[in-house]
C-alpha cells in the first residue's frame, strides 16, 4: 500500500481513535488522519495516540475541529473561539506526533456579506496559523471546500487566489499550503482541472462522490479515480509531509468502508 494513503479515523467513528488506528494498520495502511473531534468524542489522550501510532508504525495528520466553528465569522466571539480551538489543535497535532494539521478556511456569516472582508480576515488568520505552526515545527493545510451555501473557498479561482495570498505573505505563510479535497472539487466540476491549475497543494482528501453523497466510497461514485489518483499521488509525493486522507464513511457498516478503500487503493 502506498504510504501516503491515510484513512480518516472518522470512517471508524464507533471504534474510537485507538481502535480505528489498529484497524487502519490491519487493513494494510501506513498512515492515518485523526479527527480532533473524534479524540474529544472518545475522550482519548493525545499521548495515547502518539504511543499507539508509534507501535503500529503509522504516520499521522490531524484534522482540526470544524463543526459549528467559523474562524472568519463576523461575530467576534464566534471568530475568537473558532481560531482558539484550531490554534490549540496545533498543540494536539504536536502531541499525537502528526506533522500536518488540516483546517477549514472559514465561511461567510451571511450570504449578503462582502466577500472581500472575509479574504482580509483569512489573510490575518493565516499569519496566526503560520506563526504557531512554525513555533511547533508543523505544517498547516487549508482545505478547499464543498460547493455549498456560505462557503467561498470552493472553486479554482478561489484556490488560486488563496495560493496567491500564501505566495505574497512569503515567510509569514511558509508553513501553510492547500489541502485539495477531490470530492469537494467534484462538486465544482472536474477534479483533474483542480489538480492541473491549483498550486501549492500540500495535502489531500480523497473519496468518490455521487449525486446522493458528497463523500461516497471509492469506486462507488462517478469520479474517474483511475486517472485522478495517480496524478494526485504525484503531487503529494513531491511534498515532504503531505498525506492523502481517505474519506467516505458508511455509518451502517464502518468496517466495510475501510475494506472497500483498502481493496480499491491496492492498484496504485
Binding site for Zn ion (CB under 5 A): 143
Q: Nearest residue to Zn ion, using CB? A: 143
Least distance to Zn ion from the beta carbon of 91, Å?
Answer: 19
Closer CB to Zn ion, residue 204 or residue 229?
204
Q: How far is the CB of 114 from Zn ion (least distance, A)?
A: 25
- Of 86 and 260, the one with the shorter C-beta distance to Zn ion is 86
Residue number with CB closer to Zn ion (148 or 263): 148
Which residues make Cβ contacts (< 8 Å) with residue 201, sequence separation at least 6? 177, 178, 179, 180, 195, 235, 236, 239, 242
DSSP 98: -
Which residue(s) pair with 7 in the sheet? 246
The sign of the dihedral angle between the CA atoms of 195, 200, 206, 209 is negative
Question: What per-residue string of b and e applies to 207-241 under the rule 16 or more CB within 10 Å gives b?
Answer: bbbbeebbbbbbebbebebeebbeebbebbeebeb
User: What is the maximal distance between C-alpha atoms in the chain?
Assistant: 51
Q: How far is the CB of 170 from Zn ion (least distance, A)?
A: 26
**What element of type H or E holds 46?**
helix 46-56
Minimum Å gap between C-beta 145 and Zn ion is 8
- Looking only at the bridges linking them, the beta strands covering 5-7 and 244-246 are parallel
Write down the least CB distance from residue 171 to Zn ion, Å: 26
**Nearer Cβ to Zn ion, position 143 or 208?**
143
Q: Which is nearer to Zn ion, 67 or 170 (CB)?
A: 67
Residue 62 near residue 39, CB atoms below 8 Å: no
In the complex with Zn ion, the residue whose CB is nearer, 143 or 254, is 143
Please report how close the Cβ of residue 64 comes to Zn ion at its closest, in angstroms.
8
Amino acid at each position: 500500500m502506498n504510504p501516503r494513503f491515510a484513512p480518516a479515523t472518522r470512517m471508524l467513528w464507533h471504534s474510537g481513535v485507538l481502535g480505528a488506528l489498529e484497524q487502519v494498520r490491519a487493513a494494510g495502511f501506513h498512515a492515518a488522519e485523526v479527527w480532533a473531534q473524534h479524540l474529544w468524542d472518545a475522550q482519548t489522550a493525545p499521548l495515547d495516540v502518539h504511543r499507539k501510532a508509534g507501535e503500529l508504525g503509522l504516520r499521522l495528520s490531524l484534522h482540526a475541529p470544524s463543526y459549528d466553528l467559523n474562524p472568519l465569522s463576523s461575530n467576534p466571539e464566534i471568530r475568537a473561539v473558532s481560531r482558539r480551538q484550531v490554534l490549540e489543535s496545533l498543540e494536539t497535532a504536536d502531541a499525537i506526533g502528526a506533522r500536518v494539521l488540516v483546517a477549514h478556511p472559514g465561511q461567510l456569516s451571511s450570504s449578503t456579506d462582502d466577500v472581500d472582508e472575509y479574504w482580509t480576515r483569512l489573510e490575518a488568520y493565516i499569519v496566526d496559523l503560520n506563526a504557531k505552526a512554525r513555533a511547533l515545527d508543523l505544517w498547516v493545510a487549508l482545505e478547499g471546500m464543498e460547493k455549498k451555501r456560505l462557503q467561498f473557498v470552493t472553486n479554482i479561482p478561489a484556490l488560486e487566489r488563496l495560493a496567491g495570498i500564501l505566495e505574497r505573505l512569503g515567510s509569514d505563510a511558509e508553513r501553510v499550503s492547500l489541502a485539495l479535497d477531490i470530492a469537494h472539487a467534484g462538486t465544482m466540476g472536474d477534479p483533474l482541472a483542480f489538480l492541473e491549475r491549483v498550486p501549492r497543494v500540500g495535502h489531500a482528501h480523497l473519496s468518490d462522490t455521487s449525486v446522493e453523497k458528497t463523500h461516497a466510497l471509492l469506486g462507488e461514485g462517478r469520479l474517474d479515480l483511475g486517472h485522478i489518483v495517480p496524478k494526485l499521488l504525484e503531487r503529494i509525493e513531491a511534498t515532504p509531509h503531505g498525506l492523502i486522507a481517505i474519506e467516505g464513511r458508511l455509518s451502517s457498516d464502518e468496517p466495510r468502508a475501510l475494506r472497500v478503500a483498502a481493496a480499491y487503493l491496492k492498484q496504485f
